[in-house]
Amino acid sequence: MHALIEKSLSLPMAARLLLLVNIGALLFAFTLQLGFDVRPCYLCLWARVPYASVAALSLIALLWKPYGRQTTILLGLCVLAYLAGMGIGVFQTGVEQHWWQSVSGCASQPLQNLSVEEMRQALLQTEEVPCDIIGWTFLGFSLANLNIPISLTLAFFAALAALRNK
């Protein structure tokens, strides 16, 4: 088991794993969106940016030979991207739970005290998906909830790989 962990943390394997995990995460998000019509909100789209960034950084790390200080720096940037993704997940979870307000234009509009015509107009004008409405869950957890431990785990992995290859 120890040998498998050591091999996973060494280059180029760590970069390959990061690349595959991030491409998989993005494919999962696009499959939900395009295949199952789970429309992403503004924050959901922002949550994809760290995964795309790490995919690009890990591809560069994989291709940049010989492996050295530059690859360690790239793995360090992956850690920062994951921590930013975790922050987005925490913020979005707070918005979903109504602990705080979201960014402008991202929250659902209350339909109380509106006439039928006003409600119809509000629904017709709604193009963006509100960030405080959970569109999909797995075992009771939203994608924002799941993004927190996943990003933290991947940040830890990238940090260990960076330290291992220092």
Total domains present in the chain: 1
Domain span including residue 63: 2-164
pTM above threshold 0.75: yes
d(CA 97, CA 22): 27
- Look at residue 24 and give its three-state secondary structure: helix
**CATH code for position 27:** 1.20.1550.10
CA dihedral 12, 14, 18, 20 (to 10 degrees): 60
By mean pLDDT, which of 20-29, 57-66, 98-107 is the weakest?
Answer: 98-107
8 A C-beta contact, residue 55 and residue 23: yes
d(CA 82, CA 49): 10
For strand 137-138 and strand 141-142, is the pairing parallel, antiparallel, or unpaired?
antiparallel
Asked if pLDDT for residue 20 goes beyond 90, the answer is yes
Q: What is the pLDDT of residue 140?
A: 93
The mean pLDDT of the chain is 89
| Mean pLDDT, residues 75-81 | 97
8 A C-beta contact, residue 153 and residue 80: no
